[in-house]
Structure 1
Amino acid sequence: MRTNANTSLREEQKRHTRARLMTGAKKLFSTRGYAAVRVDDIAAAVGCSRATFYLHFAGKVEILSAIAAQSTVPSTLRFYEDLDRVLEAGSRAEFVGWVTRAIEWFHEYKELLPAWDEATALEPEFRELARDGIRALPNAMTSYLAGWPADRQDEARLRVELLVAQLERFFTRWAMQGTIDVSAEQAAEVLADIWFPALRAPSGAS
């Protein structure tokens, strides 16, 4: 009984330390980007040793990947499941609402975007994770894909992937670089003009 209690306590301590490391890393990545942060910085931020860090993570790539898996990946999938519903409803007004929510989502994760971009450019492992994440989004849109013929499924997926890329690039230029001067409302309307028709299945498809 005592052994079980001790084991449970150790497991809880491990989970707590892992969570603290992830919280500390997220703050550092948000303020300093990816390349400038060292493993020693993350360990020091939570008051543990470098050795303790490596008990939980193999390195910076793994902890950033864990942060993404914990928060952004599930929320992104839910967003594109919702887009599937919006497209099935066939309402442009609902699509504008979805784009508006997408812009708000980017705002929520604005501080981490530079770190993700740096890691994608620098780390092949994270680049593969980002690629898999983008590929997973069309697969969450089952109704949308069902509306496209079998010989155009790759094209259907590509359209969603290009939507993801344009939304991210727009947000970077608009909210982070300040090189696009437009209101969120106007941006949502114009993006809807472009993408609402572009995501419709071809007529006559089964």
Structure 2
Amino acid sequence: MALLAAARELFVARGYTTVTVDDITRAVGCSRATFYLHFTNKMDVLARISAETMQERAAGVYRELDAVLETGSRAEFVGWVVRALDWFDRNREILPAWDEALAAEPGFQAIGRRSIVELTAAMPRYLARWPEGRRDEARFRVELLVTQLERYFTRSAVQGTIEFTGHAAAEILADIWFPALRAPG
């Protein structure tokens, strides 16, 4: 859809908060009425863009993590970290707008929370290996992993404040997270 494509380009170029509905409609050459036939507001547009991006992440990246953790192989986990960081790299342009919306739009926090829940939901075998009374802990461990990967990627690839990258970074992240994600027993 042209409105989504235009909004994405604007969010990438200018950030979330500076873009208006009028900017989006002008870029496509349609009226505000047409915009509101498809979206309730600017946040709804970013939510739709993010849903596609995050759905790919949950469906692919974290479903794969579920299988990798089942193997018990640290080497496969390192490979997964490399692929997860590649996902961030492929979506690098829209991530700052996502972070900006999370800070600026209280309603967007529910969307951000739902995206995290979808990641752990994509890992049923991992969760099943944890005792029922500790599955919230297992989910929280995955959430912490996601958070660290996001921050690491932002600092290294977007901001340029961390210079340790590539396979060496994946090895260190695996040193931290491979044992931390193991189910008890």
The answer to whether the superposition gives a TM-score over 0.5 is yes
Kindly report which structure 2 residues correspond to 1:164-175, keeping only aligned pairs within 5 A, or say none: 164-175=146-157
Residue 37 of structure 1 deviates from its aligned partner by 0.3
Residue 12 of structure 1 corresponds to none
Residue 135 of structure 1 corresponds to 117
Residue 57 of structure 2 corresponds to 76
Residue 123 of structure 1 corresponds to 105
Structure-2 separation of matches of 1:81 and 1:34: 29
Structure-2 separation of matches of 1:166 and 1:27: 27
Structure-2 separation of matches of 1:100 and 1:196: 13
Structure-2 separation of matches of 1:45 and 1:123: 23
Q: Which residue identity is paired with 1:73?
A: M
Structure 1 gap ranges (5+): 1-18
Residue 50 of structure 1 corresponds to 32
Q: State which structure, 1 or 2, has the greater radius of gyration over its C-alpha atoms.
A: 1
Structure-2 separation of matches of 1:104 and 1:152: 31
Residue 15 of structure 1 corresponds to none
Query: Secondary structure, in 3 states, of the residue corresponding to 2:94?
Result: helix
Structure 2 gap ranges (5+): none
Residue 73 of structure 1 deviates from its aligned partner by 2.0
Question: Out of 75, 87, 91, which is 1:105 matched to?
Answer: 87
How many residues align? The count is: 184
Structure-1 separation of matches of 2:84 and 2:42: 28
Residue 183 of structure 1 deviates from its aligned partner by 2.4
Moved over 4 A (4+): none
Residue 166 of structure 2 corresponds to 184
Task: Indicate the structure whose relative CO is greater, using CA pairs within 8 Å and at least 6 residues apart.
Answer: 2
TM-score (norm 1): 0.87
Question: Out of 83, 87, 92, which is 2:69 matched to?
Answer: 87
The answer as to 2:180 corresponding to 1:198 is yes
Structure-1 separation of matches of 2:5 and 2:118: 26
Structure-2 separation of matches of 1:189 and 1:27: 34
Q: Which residue identity is paired with 2:54?
A: V
Residue 21 of structure 1 deviates from its aligned partner by 0.2
CA RMSD of aligned residues (A): 0.9
User: What percent identity do the matched residue pairs reach?
Assistant: 60
Q: Which residue identity is paired with 2:41?
A: G
Residue 163 of structure 1 deviates from its aligned partner by 0.3
The answer as to 2:4 corresponding to 1:40 is no
